[in-house]
């Protein structure tokens, strides 16, 4: 069994569940190491004020076997950081698997590596996937070759278990799921726009609208740089 170097990239205003959910799963894989990488080793603050301490800078990272990219509102600034985007592209090209959660797929897409690939992301940004050349798929987890993309936030648990099964087999993945007692019974059927009451969906879409508009503008600028 070959040792696995697993690494998450973190940046300001990530959604912490996009990070901590997959960590709960993948940090339990046998014969593996999980590390956090960022532009500096200063604490990184998530969207709601939770702070994470990077293990090392981007430059200090080895070639990772598994690259994990969380999402969050900070994706908009991160995808316009040429140093970060270039690092993500180098790491993704050499990794066995690349795993994104939520709008982490949008950040990966800024590298150009999702062009022609099936992918998913958070429902509020799902319609933006074609701007980065991705083929949008309305599923909770989508696998396309070495790329595994999970939809919004809690989908990271599902995606991480899929990654665990690919790397260490289904028995290991199921054992981790059992340890976590991951057997959700949500109190409401409101976890997707297709299920939530329309008034709830409308309120959420209105709240997201300014963020999505800025994200779309940034993506159009980035997409214009891709070769046709």
Give the residue numbers marked as catalytic: 102
Between CA 112 and CA 103 the distance in angstroms is 15
- Closest residue by Cα to residue 70 from 131, 154, 142: 154
CA 79 to chain centre: 13
Joined tokens for residue 206: 């209105």
Q: Sheet with 32-38: list strands edge to edge.
A: 56-57, 32-38, 4-9, 66-69, 97-101, 147-150, 141-144
């Amino acid at each position: 069994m070959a040792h696995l170097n697993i690494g998450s990239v973190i940046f300001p205003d990530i959604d912490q569940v996009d990070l901590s959910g997959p960590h709960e799963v993948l940090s339990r894989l046998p014969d593996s190491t999980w590390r956090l990488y960022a532009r500096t080793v200063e604490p990184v603050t998530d969207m709601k004020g939770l702070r994470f301490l990077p293990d090392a800078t981007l430059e200090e990272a080895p070639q990772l076997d598994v690259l994990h990219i969380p999402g969050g509102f900070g994706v908009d600034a991160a995808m316009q950081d040429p140093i970060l985007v270039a690092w993500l592209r180098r790491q993704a090209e050499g990794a066995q698997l690349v795993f994104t959660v939520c709008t982490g797929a949008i950040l990966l897409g800024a590298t150009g590596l999702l062009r022609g690939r099936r992918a998913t992301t958070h429902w509020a940004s799902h319609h933006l996937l074609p701007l980065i050349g991705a083929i949008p798929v309305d599923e909770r987890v989508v696998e396309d070759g070495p790329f595994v993309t999970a939809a919004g936030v809690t989908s990271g648990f599902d995606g991480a278990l899929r990654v665990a099964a690919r790397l260490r087999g289904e028995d290991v993945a199921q054992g981790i799921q059992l340890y976590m007692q991951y057997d959700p019974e949500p109190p409401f059927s409101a976890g997707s726009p297709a299920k939530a009451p329309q008034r709830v969906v409308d309120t959420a879409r209105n709240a997201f609208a300014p963020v999505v508009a800025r994200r779309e503008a940034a993506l159009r600028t980035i997409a214009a740089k891709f070769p046709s």
